[in-house]
A and B are shown apart, each in its own frame.
Chain A
Amino acid sequence: MDGVLRRPGLTAGRLWPLVPLVLLVGIVAVFASTGGSLTGLIGDNPPPADEFEIRRVELHPGEIHIRVTNPQRDDLTIASVTVDDAIVPFDVDGPRTLPRLRSSEIVVQYEWVDGEPLSVGVTSSSGIQTVEEIAAATATPEPSARSALGYGLIGVLVGIVPIALGLLWLPSLRRAAPQWLAAFMALTAGLLTFLAVEALSEALELQAALPSALGGAGLVLLGVALSYLTLTAISARFGSRSGAGGAGISGLALATLVAIGIGLHNLGEGLAIGSSFALGELALGTFFVVGFMIHNVTEGLGIAAPIAEGRSVSLGRLAALTAVAGAPAILGAWLGGFVTSDFLGVLFFAAAAGAAFQVVVEVTRYVARRAPGGISSPHVLGGFLAGIAVMYVTGLLVA
């Protein structure tokens, strides 16, 4: 009966999808073997930039560690290292000549001055220098229980604490008139829109600094799409679970989505703060942490708004919402402090943007369904604008 199925035409039809692939392989092979002649037709390839990428500079007592990567197509050799425009002796942990995308760590014995600016330069054998400026030199925390605690506390301060404080507005919200509740829901949508735009711009900025082999706006889009679609699926599940087809998701489900969106944002924020601390960029003030706290209090309000009507929510649920929204800041601070990777930063911020956009959509649907006077009522429009304005103004604290 196989014979019946294997009529020649049918087999050919089934194999047809492979034909473009086979042809592609063939053409690629021909091109790769004669590619040089094509470049010859157009003109010479431009010379490589021969520039290292400085991934991370760590300061230890009497020592500077510089992690460099070769983002070029061709091999790159570490020829000379400067600290504050002075050539210094150095050791290399790893190969001195780096193939594409390989990294090495340069170790320099150097008595750097605490709290003062520092510039570190790495020169390749063709004389091209890459310089990394450090705003204020400060010892890179060694990964220890102590510093883990320090980063954890930063995460708690900028993540958990402000959200818990914001949730304390819940009893007041419960007493609010429906149109005011709608205004606060709109405020949530406004602040999430702000966070989404902020995260997106952060992701795009970070990706621009990545070696082109890793980065690109495509990575950002991938992160945005991944988190947007994941949250869409989650909210669809919430919707179907709540039963009553078409009634949409419940207030608690929406609050959970808001918390997830904010949590992803705080993951990126924690990463940024942690790595800034590790790289000495934040040695300039506690002001920064305070600013983030004030900035993030509004996020708690955003989670409180959807659960302000209907059944009261248990304290355990509230704690869980706080953890979902705030705890990622701790994880982010750890990752940023000890690993510091711009690549992770791009992914996290992109995911945060996607999640925030998705939650804005959910909140808008919710408001459209529930708000007296609908989505274009003055309360809703004013609330949305107020959400953006509050985030903008408090954001100036950390600018």
Chain B
Amino acid sequence: MTKFSRKQVLAGGASLVAAAPLAKAVWPDAAQADESATHLGHNHPALGHAAMVHDHVPAPGGPNALDHLLEPPASLPHKPGRLREYEVVAIDRRIEVAQGVFFEAWTYNGSVPGPVIRATEDDLLRVNFVNHGSHPHTIHFHGIHPANMDGVFEVVAPGDSFTYEFTAKPAGMQLYHCHATPLKKHIHKGLYGAFIVDPKEPRPPAQELVMVMNGYDTDGDGENNFYTVNGKAFYYARYPIPVRRSQTVRIYLANLTEFDLINSFHLHGEFFRYYPTGTGDQFEYTDTVVQTQGQRGIIEIDFTHTGLFMFHAHQSEFAELGWMGFFDVRD
């Protein structure tokens, strides 16, 4: 505390008699108002992470930590009856969801979201599921399949396993998630992933990316504390995704955010074609799409300009809680 003299105190006592200076003295912040105005132009702009890029942004994981989730397995030409086999293991795992913040997740193969499963239409998809978690789980695929392959009644107890086998269809961006109850808990804990079914006629060549939008309620109050794509807050702000201007960028986008009604994807400085669920040729030419939980689609971007272009949820709150990244467009 600054020292003050007896004289100053007495002077203050005198001003008590006069009404006008009183208000100013009793409300010290009013007296400081002009002082704070000069601070508005100070040299350290108070930017949030949602306006930062590269190393200024705190994000967990190393430079290539999410490659296996961002880049889908290669597509294969149409060949009815071909076997596509995947191993999926449910594991309880503590994962870093934002820098320094750890979440007790339930995962498929140790990551949230789980691995990208890909097949071509009419492939025979076989998923060998082993539950090494502490709770009963299932895998429920979106798509067309027999009732006993739906992952609803065939609950797999801890230590047990189950093999899902069905013909992959229809072509499009599908997804999978656990359907054990309580459903909300099993999904927000992290049991979900992208499931791509390629059409008979291959899609045109493109740089293909997978983005699964999600959230984490780390303190269990039924509201998400962090939002991400592919599981780590601000990851693509710290490590922008390199893409080429000459090549189409195709994003398989899905929303698996629990607790919030919708999530969205917005791209800066460019428009894109959006194919809902990726099942047809109809598209919308836009820069913003909205998906409810479980909704998905395919985005195709042909960049006009090079440079850093931001993408994020157009719910500002989600963007500022981690769902924000950049494309680094180069020639």
Contacts and interface: CB of A to CB of B under 8 A. Distances in A.
Interface in B84-120: 97-103
7 contacts: A79-B101, A86-B321, A126-B218, A145-B3, A149-B12, A150-B25, A150-B27
A133 interface: no
Interface stretch (A1-9, A153-161, A173-181): A153-161
Contacts of B160: none
A85 interface: yes
Contact of A138 (B4, B25, B29, B44): B29
Given A129-B218, A141-B29, A145-B3, 7 more contacts: A86-B320, A87-B49, A109-B45, A123-B218, A126-B102, A146-B31, A149-B25
Interface string B22-58: 1101111101100110011010111111101000101
Contact of B98 (A78, A80, A142, A149): A80
Given A61-B39, A62-B44, A139-B36, A289 B101 contact: no
A348 interface: no
Given A62-B40, A80-B99, A286 B23 contact: yes
B44 A109 contact: yes
A85 B219 contact: no
A87 B48 contact: yes
Interface string A285-296: 010010000000
A142 B47 CA distance: 24
Pick the most buried of B9, B25, B219: most chain A CB atoms within 10 A of its CB.
B219
Contacts of A95: none
Interface in A141-197: 141-154, 156-157
Contacts of A338: 1
A238 interface: no
B288 interface: no
Interface residues of A, number: 48
A392 interface: no
A89 B22 CA distance: 39
A238 to B, nearest CB: 32
A143 B218 contact: no
B55 to A, nearest CB: 12
Contacts of B102: 125-127
Given A126-B218, A153-B12, A286-B23, A89 B101 contact: no
A332 to B, nearest CB: 15
B98 A87 contact: yes
A79 B46 contact: no
A283 interface: yes
Contacts of B98: 79-80, 87
Contact of B218 (A86, A127, A146, A151): A127
Contacts of A343: none
Interface string A53-65: 0000000011100
Interface in A103-117: 108-111, 114
A61 B36 contact: yes
A89 B26 contact: no
Contacts of B8: 145, 149
Interface residues of B, number: 51
B100 A125 contact: yes
A123 B98 CA distance: 11
Interface in A19-45: none
A87 B9 contact: no
A347 B47 CA distance: 41
A80 B97 CA distance: 11
B26 A87 contact: no
A173 B225 CA distance: 63
B327 interface: no
A82 B218 contact: no
Nearest to B320: A86
B35 A123 contact: no
B50 to A, nearest CB: 7
Interface string B230-241: 000110000000
A151 B12 CA distance: 11
B229 to A, nearest CB: 15
Interface string B176-192: 00000000000000000
Interface string B204-221: 000000000000101100
A110 B40 CA distance: 11
A63 B303 CA distance: 39
A232 interface: no
B8 to A, nearest CB: 5
A106 to B, nearest CB: 13
A61 B34 CA distance: 11
B85 to A, nearest CB: 36
A12 to B, nearest CB: 58
Given A87-B321, A123-B218, A127-B103, A152 B44 contact: no
A61 to B, nearest CB: 3
Nearest to B101: A79
B284 interface: no
A76 B272 CA distance: 45
Contact of A154 (B4, B26, B42, B49): B26
B2 interface: yes
B322 interface: yes
B29 A111 contact: no
B46 A110 contact: yes
Contact of B99 (A79, A108, A286): A79
A143 B2 contact: yes
Nearest to A64: B46
Given A86-B48, A127-B102, A289 B26 contact: yes
B219 A128 contact: yes
Contact of A150 (B26, B100, B234): B26
B185 to A, nearest CB: 16
Given A126-B218, A127-B219, A143-B2, A77 B22 contact: no
B223 to A, nearest CB: 9
Interface string A71-104: 0000001111010011111000000000000000
A114 B37 CA distance: 11
A157 B26 contact: yes
B100 A152 contact: no
Contacts of B97: 127
Contacts of A150: 25-28, 31
Contact of A80 (B23, B28, B47, B101): B101
A348 B27 CA distance: 25
Contact of B1 (A63, A79, A148, A283): A148
Pick the most buried of A143, A148, A156, A289: most chain B CB atoms within 10 A of its CB.
A148
Contacts of A82: 321
Nearest to B1: A143
